[in-house]
Structure formats: C-alpha cells, structure tokens
Amino acid sequence: MAATVKKNRICVSIAAPSVDAALAAAKKAAELADVIEIRLDSLSVPSVRPFVDGVPKPLLFTCRPKWEGGQYEGEEAARIDLLVEAVRAGAAYVDIELRAEEDSRRRLLDAAKGSECRVIVSWHDFKVTASAQGLGKVFQQMYRSGAHVGKIVTTAREYRDVLRVLNLQDEAAEMEFPLIAFCMGPVGVISRVATCGLGGYMTYAAPDGGAATAPGQLPVATLHRMLSELAHAG
C-alpha cells in the first residue's frame, strides 16, 4: 500500500522573548499545527530542551541572524551550536540560510547525518522578488547546497511576483526536491494558501492572537480553515 503524502503541512512560527512565553504559545498552537517553529533568535536566553520535552509536535528550530531579517547578533559558531544541539535533541527540522557560511551549513548537515532531522536551507528577500532567471539561480544553488528541504520566500509587489515564486515548484517537482515557496506581504498572502495545492512542502502561519514573524502571515486558525474548505470544495 502506498504511503500517504502529507498535504497542507502548516508550520506555526513562535517568537517570544522568554522560554515560558514561547512554550505556552507553542502548546496552544499545537492543536492546529503540523510543525512548530521555535525562533531561538527571539529568546533572551535561547534554549532547546524545554521545547523538545514540552511540545507534542514535530519541532523546527531557527536562529535567524540580523542579516536575514532575524534578531540574532552573536557569534556564528554559537548560533550553529544551538542548531546542532537541536538536531541532537530530536528536532524534526533545523533551518539555516543559503547565505550562511558554507562551513556552517556543512557542520549542520553533518550533524543531521544518521538522524531523522531534516535541514531546511532558506533564502529570503524582504524587499522584492527577483526575476525568473534570478530565482532560478537561487533555486539551483539551494539544490546543490545539500539541503533536505529548500525554502525560497520573497516579497511580492504585484501578482506576477507571486506567479514566479510559485512556478519554482514545478521545477522542484521535476527534480524531486522538497521546496517551500511563497511570498510575503499583502500581495503575497494568497501564495501562503496556494502553495499547498501546488506541491509546496510547507506553509507558515502565526499563532492565533500572537505576533507574526513575517509580513502577511495568517493566524493558524484562519489558514487551517481556508485549507480545509479548499480541500473539500467541489
């Protein structure tokens, strides 16, 4: 019997200044989330173990540096130490940027070998969406990076930006490369929903009543309802 392929995978991003606040938000979001992202860069004292022990959902750990829209300003080696700790503690996913030093990516990929943890290599543009050629170059670099899952997220200024990003999923499918692809911003909101029906590996939501970690994130209850209604349409 063929394995069931998970569709409409929703990741709820949790960013809070304290472990207690983040843990409470993660537990609350767990009912509707398939994956919980813990933004270690938002924590005043980053910690991994409380989430692994206390959240009954697959966890994604991210420690986003300032240069890619996050809050982390410390040493690169210490940042990677946190992500390696997450791998060893049993995280389902860890995220590292395509723009990160190659040694950092390699260290994380090596740590994940022999484990069930998947390394997401991500690329964000908080200003615009590149041309089709530019996006294609980013995709090829990501594919060659050794990523288990790729993530390309841009900022949409018009509907053509959305189409260019979602079109990456066609190439990803041909190459059998799991890809997260959607757009930020008001124009990009539709892509956060559409990506699931077009083969996207995962989409991201904000916790209900909590702060979004990127422009255009929908509350998880809203996104869950929209995806459920689309799945049963017709």
Residue 32 contacts residue 12 (beta carbons within 8 Å): yes
The active-site residue, picked from 124, 127, 148, 224, is 124
Residue 220 contacts residue 22 (beta carbons within 8 Å): no
The catalytic residue among 66, 148, 151, 232 is 151
Q: Among this protein's residues, is 148 annotated catalytic?
A: no
Confirm whether 232 is a catalytic residue: no
Neighbouring C-beta atoms of residue 93, cutoff 10 Å: 23
> Which residues are marked as active site?
124, 151
